[in-house]
Protein backbone atom coordinates (compact mmCIF):
# COMPACT_ATOMS: atom_id res chain seq x y z
CA UNK A 1 0.00 0.00 0.00
CA UNK A 2 1.38 3.38 -0.92
CA UNK A 3 1.80 6.15 1.62
CA UNK A 4 -1.14 8.23 0.40
CA UNK A 5 -3.52 5.29 0.54
CA UNK A 6 -2.27 4.47 4.02
CA UNK A 7 -2.96 8.02 5.25
CA UNK A 8 -6.43 8.03 3.69
CA UNK A 9 -7.26 4.68 5.30
CA UNK A 10 -5.95 5.84 8.66
CA UNK A 11 -7.98 9.05 8.54
CA UNK A 12 -11.14 7.20 7.50
CA UNK A 13 -10.73 4.62 10.27
CA UNK A 14 -10.27 7.33 12.89
CA UNK A 15 -13.26 9.23 11.52
CA UNK A 16 -15.40 6.10 11.53
CA UNK A 17 -14.30 5.30 15.09
CA UNK A 18 -15.23 8.79 16.30
CA UNK A 19 -18.57 8.78 14.50
CA UNK A 20 -19.43 5.33 15.86
CA UNK A 21 -18.52 6.33 19.41
CA UNK A 22 -20.44 9.58 19.09
CA UNK A 23 -23.54 7.83 17.81
CA UNK A 24 -23.31 5.18 20.52
CA UNK A 25 -22.94 7.91 23.14
CA UNK A 26 -25.97 9.78 21.91
CA UNK A 27 -27.97 6.57 21.41
CA UNK A 28 -27.95 6.17 25.18
CA UNK A 29 -29.37 9.68 25.46
CA UNK A 30 -31.89 9.02 22.70
CA UNK A 31 -32.96 5.80 24.39
CA UNK A 32 -33.73 7.63 27.64
CA UNK A 33 -35.56 10.38 25.78
CA UNK A 34 -37.59 7.89 23.72
CA UNK A 35 -38.42 5.92 26.85
CA UNK A 36 -39.50 9.12 28.54
CA UNK A 37 -41.64 10.08 25.56
CA UNK A 38 -43.31 6.67 25.48
CA UNK A 39 -44.01 6.78 29.20
CA UNK A 40 -45.17 10.38 29.17
CA UNK A 41 -42.20 11.69 31.15
CA UNK A 42 -39.60 14.34 30.38
CA UNK A 43 -36.44 12.25 30.56
CA UNK A 44 -32.99 13.65 31.38
CA UNK A 45 -33.17 17.44 31.10
CA UNK A 46 -30.72 18.88 33.64
CA UNK A 47 -27.27 18.73 32.00
CA UNK A 48 -27.20 21.43 29.33
CA UNK A 49 -30.14 22.67 27.25
CA UNK A 50 -32.71 19.87 27.07
CA UNK A 51 -30.24 17.52 28.78
CA UNK A 52 -27.98 17.46 25.74
CA UNK A 53 -24.80 16.95 27.81
CA UNK A 54 -26.25 14.04 29.78
CA UNK A 55 -24.18 11.35 27.93
CA UNK A 56 -20.97 13.21 28.75
CA UNK A 57 -21.96 13.29 32.41
CA UNK A 58 -22.78 9.58 32.27
CA UNK A 59 -19.43 8.81 30.66
CA UNK A 60 -17.58 10.87 33.26
CA UNK A 61 -19.43 9.02 36.01
CA UNK A 62 -18.37 5.67 34.54
CA UNK A 63 -14.73 6.75 34.64
CA UNK A 64 -14.91 8.11 38.18
CA UNK A 65 -16.56 5.02 39.71
CA UNK A 66 -14.47 2.58 41.70
CA UNK A 67 -13.32 -0.38 39.68
CA UNK A 68 -14.15 -3.62 41.44
CA UNK A 69 -12.63 -6.92 40.39
CA UNK A 70 -14.13 -9.79 42.43
CA UNK A 71 -11.60 -11.75 44.48
CA UNK A 72 -12.69 -15.16 43.25
CA UNK A 73 -12.83 -14.14 39.61
CA UNK A 74 -10.37 -15.02 36.89
CA UNK A 75 -8.73 -11.60 36.64
CA UNK A 76 -7.27 -11.76 33.15
CA UNK A 77 -10.44 -13.12 31.57
CA UNK A 78 -12.53 -10.69 33.63
CA UNK A 79 -10.79 -7.78 31.90
CA UNK A 80 -10.64 -9.57 28.55
CA UNK A 81 -14.44 -10.04 28.31
CA UNK A 82 -15.52 -6.40 27.91
CA UNK A 83 -12.48 -5.69 25.73
CA UNK A 84 -13.49 -8.38 23.23
CA UNK A 85 -17.10 -7.19 23.35
CA UNK A 86 -16.31 -3.61 22.41
CA UNK A 87 -13.52 -4.52 19.99
CA UNK A 88 -15.68 -6.89 17.97
CA UNK A 89 -18.56 -4.43 17.79
CA UNK A 90 -16.23 -1.72 16.50
CA UNK A 91 -14.74 -4.01 13.84
CA UNK A 92 -17.77 -4.38 11.57
CA UNK A 93 -17.99 -0.73 10.55
CA UNK A 94 -15.02 -0.85 8.18
CA UNK A 95 -16.84 -3.15 5.78
CA UNK A 96 -19.99 -1.06 5.37
CA UNK A 97 -20.17 1.30 2.37
CA UNK A 98 -21.05 4.60 4.02
CA UNK A 99 -21.31 6.41 0.70
CA UNK A 100 -20.25 6.50 -2.93
CA UNK A 101 -17.15 8.17 -4.34
CA UNK A 102 -15.96 11.55 -3.09
CA UNK A 103 -13.55 13.61 -5.18
CA UNK A 104 -11.23 15.51 -2.84
CA UNK A 105 -8.45 17.61 -4.48
CA UNK A 106 -8.51 15.40 -7.54
CA UNK A 107 -8.27 12.17 -5.52
CA UNK A 108 -11.14 9.72 -5.63
CA UNK A 109 -11.94 8.61 -2.10
CA UNK A 110 -14.32 5.74 -1.47
CA UNK A 111 -16.43 6.04 1.65
CA UNK A 112 -16.10 2.32 2.21
CA UNK A 113 -12.86 1.59 4.03
CA UNK A 114 -12.39 -2.04 2.97
CA UNK A 115 -14.18 -3.69 0.07
CA UNK A 116 -13.89 -7.44 0.57
CA UNK A 117 -15.47 -9.71 -2.01
CA UNK A 118 -16.94 -11.71 0.88
CA UNK A 119 -18.11 -8.75 2.95
CA UNK A 120 -21.13 -10.53 4.43
CA UNK A 121 -19.06 -13.40 5.74
CA UNK A 122 -16.79 -10.89 7.46
CA UNK A 123 -19.85 -9.48 9.24
CA UNK A 124 -20.77 -12.97 10.40
CA UNK A 125 -17.23 -13.81 11.48
CA UNK A 126 -17.02 -10.67 13.63
CA UNK A 127 -20.47 -11.38 15.01
CA UNK A 128 -19.41 -14.85 16.10
CA UNK A 129 -16.33 -13.44 17.82
CA UNK A 130 -18.55 -11.05 19.76
CA UNK A 131 -20.15 -13.97 21.60
CA UNK A 132 -16.86 -14.64 23.35
CA UNK A 133 -16.91 -11.22 25.00
CA UNK A 134 -20.14 -12.04 26.79
CA UNK A 135 -19.27 -15.68 27.52
CA UNK A 136 -15.80 -15.00 28.88
CA UNK A 137 -16.99 -12.07 30.97
CA UNK A 138 -19.92 -14.03 32.38
CA UNK A 139 -17.83 -17.03 33.29
CA UNK A 140 -14.87 -15.12 34.68
CA UNK A 141 -17.10 -13.21 37.12
CA UNK A 142 -17.55 -16.44 39.10
CA UNK A 143 -21.17 -15.60 39.79
CA UNK A 144 -24.14 -17.87 39.11
CA UNK A 145 -26.27 -15.07 37.68
CA UNK A 146 -23.48 -13.93 35.38
CA UNK A 147 -22.95 -17.48 34.18
CA UNK A 148 -26.66 -17.93 33.53
CA UNK A 149 -26.69 -14.71 31.55
CA UNK A 150 -23.64 -15.74 29.55
CA UNK A 151 -25.09 -19.15 28.75
CA UNK A 152 -28.39 -17.62 27.72
CA UNK A 153 -26.63 -15.08 25.53
CA UNK A 154 -24.47 -17.61 23.74
CA UNK A 155 -27.23 -20.12 23.06
CA UNK A 156 -29.53 -17.35 21.90
CA UNK A 157 -26.94 -15.85 19.56
CA UNK A 158 -26.01 -19.24 18.09
CA UNK A 159 -29.66 -20.17 17.56
CA UNK A 160 -30.61 -16.95 15.82
CA UNK A 161 -27.42 -16.88 13.74
CA UNK A 162 -28.81 -19.85 11.80
CA UNK A 163 -32.00 -18.23 10.55
CA UNK A 164 -30.11 -14.98 10.00
CA UNK A 165 -27.71 -16.93 7.79
CA UNK A 166 -30.58 -18.48 5.84
CA UNK A 167 -32.22 -15.11 5.22
CA UNK A 168 -28.86 -13.79 4.02
CA UNK A 169 -28.46 -16.77 1.66
CA UNK A 170 -31.85 -15.94 0.15
CA UNK A 171 -30.65 -12.37 -0.34
CA UNK A 172 -27.43 -13.59 -1.94
CA UNK A 173 -29.43 -15.64 -4.44
CA UNK A 174 -31.13 -12.45 -5.59
CA UNK A 175 -28.05 -10.23 -5.65
CA UNK A 176 -25.56 -12.81 -6.84
CA UNK A 177 -22.65 -11.29 -4.94
CA UNK A 178 -21.26 -11.25 -1.41
CA UNK A 179 -19.52 -7.92 -1.65
CA UNK A 180 -21.44 -5.26 0.25
CA UNK A 181 -20.28 -2.64 -2.27
CA UNK A 182 -21.79 -4.53 -5.19
CA UNK A 183 -24.95 -5.31 -3.24
CA UNK A 184 -25.47 -1.58 -2.70
CA UNK A 185 -24.59 -0.70 -6.29
CA UNK A 186 -27.21 -3.14 -7.54
CA UNK A 187 -29.91 -1.30 -5.57
CA UNK A 188 -29.37 1.87 -7.58
CA UNK A 189 -32.15 4.44 -7.27
CA UNK A 190 -35.25 2.87 -5.79
CA UNK A 191 -34.43 -0.72 -6.80
CA UNK A 192 -34.07 -1.79 -3.16
CA UNK A 193 -33.79 -5.39 -2.05
CA UNK A 194 -36.68 -5.03 0.39
CA UNK A 195 -39.08 -5.28 -2.57
CA UNK A 196 -37.64 -8.67 -3.52
CA UNK A 197 -37.03 -9.94 0.01
CA UNK A 198 -39.80 -8.72 2.32
CA UNK A 199 -40.00 -11.91 4.39
CA UNK A 200 -36.23 -12.30 4.37
CA UNK A 201 -35.93 -8.81 5.79
CA UNK A 202 -38.48 -9.57 8.49
CA UNK A 203 -36.53 -12.67 9.55
CA UNK A 204 -33.28 -10.70 9.47
CA UNK A 205 -34.82 -7.94 11.58
CA UNK A 206 -36.06 -10.34 14.25
CA UNK A 207 -32.68 -12.06 14.32
CA UNK A 208 -30.94 -8.70 14.60
CA UNK A 209 -32.94 -8.00 17.74
CA UNK A 210 -31.87 -11.33 19.17
CA UNK A 211 -28.22 -10.92 18.16
CA UNK A 212 -27.93 -7.51 19.79
CA UNK A 213 -29.65 -8.74 22.98
CA UNK A 214 -32.34 -6.12 22.72
CA UNK A 215 -35.86 -6.39 24.12
CA UNK A 216 -37.94 -8.52 23.52
CA UNK A 217 -34.94 -10.86 23.44
CA UNK A 218 -32.87 -9.31 26.22
CA UNK A 219 -32.96 -12.41 28.41
CA UNK A 220 -29.17 -12.45 28.93
CA UNK A 221 -29.49 -9.33 31.04
CA UNK A 222 -33.00 -9.90 32.31
CA UNK A 223 -33.05 -7.78 35.49
CA UNK A 224 -36.06 -9.44 37.03
CA UNK A 225 -34.47 -12.88 37.00
CA UNK A 226 -30.71 -12.45 36.84
CA UNK A 227 -29.89 -9.23 38.74
CA UNK A 228 -27.93 -7.80 35.83
CA UNK A 229 -27.17 -10.81 33.67
CA UNK A 230 -23.65 -11.38 32.40
CA UNK A 231 -22.43 -7.99 33.62
CA UNK A 232 -23.69 -8.30 37.20
CA UNK A 233 -20.17 -8.17 38.67
CA UNK A 234 -18.89 -5.40 36.44
CA UNK A 235 -18.43 -1.84 37.53
CA UNK A 236 -16.90 1.37 36.24
CA UNK A 237 -15.83 1.61 32.61
CA UNK A 238 -15.78 -2.18 32.13
CA UNK A 239 -19.55 -2.12 32.58
CA UNK A 240 -19.53 0.92 30.33
CA UNK A 241 -17.79 -1.13 27.63
CA UNK A 242 -20.51 -3.78 27.74
CA UNK A 243 -23.30 -1.22 27.60
CA UNK A 244 -21.50 0.71 24.88
CA UNK A 245 -20.93 -2.37 22.77
CA UNK A 246 -24.68 -3.02 22.86
CA UNK A 247 -25.39 0.43 21.45
CA UNK A 248 -22.62 0.13 18.86
CA UNK A 249 -24.04 -3.25 17.82
CA UNK A 250 -27.43 -1.64 17.44
CA UNK A 251 -25.97 1.09 15.23
CA UNK A 252 -23.93 -1.33 13.14
CA UNK A 253 -26.76 -3.82 12.68
CA UNK A 254 -29.05 -0.97 11.61
CA UNK A 255 -26.40 0.02 9.10
CA UNK A 256 -26.11 -3.57 7.85
CA UNK A 257 -29.88 -3.80 7.47
CA UNK A 258 -30.00 -0.53 5.54
CA UNK A 259 -27.11 -1.66 3.35
CA UNK A 260 -28.57 -5.06 2.58
CA UNK A 261 -32.25 -4.26 2.21
CA UNK A 262 -32.84 -0.52 2.01
CA UNK A 263 -30.43 0.50 -0.69
CA UNK A 264 -27.60 1.83 1.47
CA UNK A 265 -26.68 5.27 0.18
CA UNK A 266 -29.01 5.00 -2.84
CA UNK A 267 -32.04 7.23 -3.00
CA UNK A 268 -34.78 7.82 -5.60
CA UNK A 269 -34.02 10.33 -8.36
CA UNK A 270 -30.26 10.22 -7.73
CA UNK A 271 -29.58 10.10 -11.47
CA UNK A 272 -31.72 13.16 -12.03
CA UNK A 273 -29.86 14.99 -9.27
CA UNK A 274 -26.52 14.07 -10.80
CA UNK A 275 -27.78 15.16 -14.20
CA UNK A 276 -29.15 18.47 -12.93
CA UNK A 277 -26.16 19.53 -10.85
CA UNK A 278 -23.37 17.55 -12.49
CA UNK A 279 -21.65 17.19 -9.14
CA UNK A 280 -20.77 13.66 -8.02
CA UNK A 281 -19.77 14.95 -4.59
CA UNK A 282 -23.21 16.43 -3.96
CA UNK A 283 -24.91 13.13 -4.81
CA UNK A 284 -22.50 11.24 -2.55
CA UNK A 285 -23.04 13.60 0.37
CA UNK A 286 -26.83 13.53 -0.01
CA UNK A 287 -26.64 9.74 -0.22
CA UNK A 288 -24.57 9.50 2.96
CA UNK A 289 -26.90 11.83 4.83
CA UNK A 290 -29.89 9.75 3.72
CA UNK A 291 -28.04 6.56 4.71
CA UNK A 292 -27.61 7.94 8.20
CA UNK A 293 -31.27 9.03 8.25
CA UNK A 294 -32.30 5.45 7.47
CA UNK A 295 -29.90 4.12 10.10
CA UNK A 296 -31.29 6.51 12.70
CA UNK A 297 -34.79 5.38 11.85
CA UNK A 298 -33.78 1.78 12.59
CA UNK A 299 -32.06 2.78 15.83
CA UNK A 300 -35.30 4.51 16.77
CA UNK A 301 -37.17 1.35 15.76
CA UNK A 302 -35.01 -0.71 18.13
CA UNK A 303 -35.91 1.67 20.96
CA UNK A 304 -39.56 1.83 19.94
CA UNK A 305 -39.82 -1.95 20.18
CA UNK A 306 -37.95 -2.00 23.48
CA UNK A 307 -40.45 0.29 25.17
CA UNK A 308 -43.50 -1.34 23.55
CA UNK A 309 -43.14 -5.12 23.66
CA UNK A 310 -42.50 -7.08 26.86
CA UNK A 311 -39.73 -9.64 27.14
CA UNK A 312 -40.23 -13.26 26.05
CA UNK A 313 -39.84 -16.25 28.30
CA UNK A 314 -36.73 -18.27 27.54
CA UNK A 315 -38.58 -21.32 26.19
CA UNK A 316 -40.69 -19.03 23.99
CA UNK A 317 -37.49 -17.52 22.64
CA UNK A 318 -36.02 -20.91 21.77
CA UNK A 319 -39.30 -22.16 20.27
CA UNK A 320 -39.55 -19.06 18.10
CA UNK A 321 -35.95 -19.45 16.97
CA UNK A 322 -35.83 -23.16 16.24
CA UNK A 323 -39.42 -24.05 15.41
CA UNK A 324 -40.59 -20.77 13.92
CA UNK A 325 -37.87 -18.82 12.23
CA UNK A 326 -35.58 -21.58 10.95
CA UNK A 327 -38.31 -23.51 9.05
CA UNK A 328 -39.74 -20.23 7.81
CA UNK A 329 -36.37 -19.05 6.55
CA UNK A 330 -35.70 -22.38 4.83
CA UNK A 331 -39.09 -22.20 3.09
CA UNK A 332 -38.35 -18.61 2.08
CA UNK A 333 -34.96 -19.71 0.77
CA UNK A 334 -36.62 -22.39 -1.38
CA UNK A 335 -39.20 -19.91 -2.68
CA UNK A 336 -36.47 -17.39 -3.52
CA UNK A 337 -34.42 -20.04 -5.29
CA UNK A 338 -37.46 -21.08 -7.34
CA UNK A 339 -38.23 -17.45 -8.12
CA UNK A 340 -34.68 -16.71 -9.22
CA UNK A 341 -34.69 -19.82 -11.42
CA UNK A 342 -38.03 -18.90 -12.92
CA UNK A 343 -37.47 -15.19 -13.59
CA UNK A 344 -33.79 -15.04 -14.41
CA UNK A 345 -33.46 -17.92 -16.84
Partner 1 sequence: MLTSAFYLIAFITIFFAIMVVASRNPIHSVLYLVLTFFSISAMYIFMLDATFVGMVNVIVYAGAIMVLFLYVLMMMNLNTDAEPKKSNLFKITAVISGGMLLLLIVAALHDNNLVNANKSTLANEKIGSIKVLGNVLYTQYQLPFEIASVLFLIAMIGSVVLGKKNTASQTIGNEVLK
Sites of contact with partner 1 (CB under 8 A): 74, 77, 116-118, 121-122, 124-125, 127-129, 131-132, 135-136, 139, 147, 150-151, 154-155, 158, 161, 178
Q: How far is the CB of 161 from partner 1 (least distance, A)?
A: 8
Task: Count Cα atoms within 13 angstroms, Cβ side, for 246.
Answer: 22
CB of 322 to partner 1, least distance (A): 12
The SS3 assignment for 51 reads: helix
N-term to C-term CA, the chain: 42
Q: How many CA atoms lie within 13 A of 37 on its CB side?
A: 10
Enumerate residues 6+ apart whose C-beta is below 8 A from 327: none
CB of 192 to partner 1, least distance (A): 24
Q: By C-beta, is 25 or 95 nearer to partner 1? A: 95
Minimum CB distance to partner 1 smaller for 30 or for 127: 127
User: How far apart are CB 136 and partner 1 at their closest, in Å?
Assistant: 7
Q: Closest CB to partner 1 among 77 and 202?
A: 77
Cβ distance to partner 1 smaller for residue 30 or 219? 219
Instruction: CB nearer to partner 1: give 212 or 284.
Output: 212
Helical ranges in the chain per DSSP H: 3-38, 54-64, 75-91, 119-140, 144-175, 180-185, 198-211, 223-226, 236-261, 270-277, 280-306, 314-319, 326-344
In the complex, minimum distance from the CB of residue 53 to partner 1, in angstroms, rounded to a whole number: 39
Bridge partners (DSSP) listed for residue 108: 103
Amino acid sequence: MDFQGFVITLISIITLFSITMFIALYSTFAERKVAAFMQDRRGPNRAGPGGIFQPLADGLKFFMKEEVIPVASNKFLFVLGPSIAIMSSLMTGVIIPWGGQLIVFGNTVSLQIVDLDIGILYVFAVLSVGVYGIMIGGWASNNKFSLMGAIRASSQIISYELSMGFSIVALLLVTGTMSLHEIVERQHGMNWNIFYQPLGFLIFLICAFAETNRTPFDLPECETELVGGYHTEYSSMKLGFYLFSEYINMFISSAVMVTLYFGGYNFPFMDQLLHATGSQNLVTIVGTILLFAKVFFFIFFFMWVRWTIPRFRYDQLMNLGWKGLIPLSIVWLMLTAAGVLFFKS
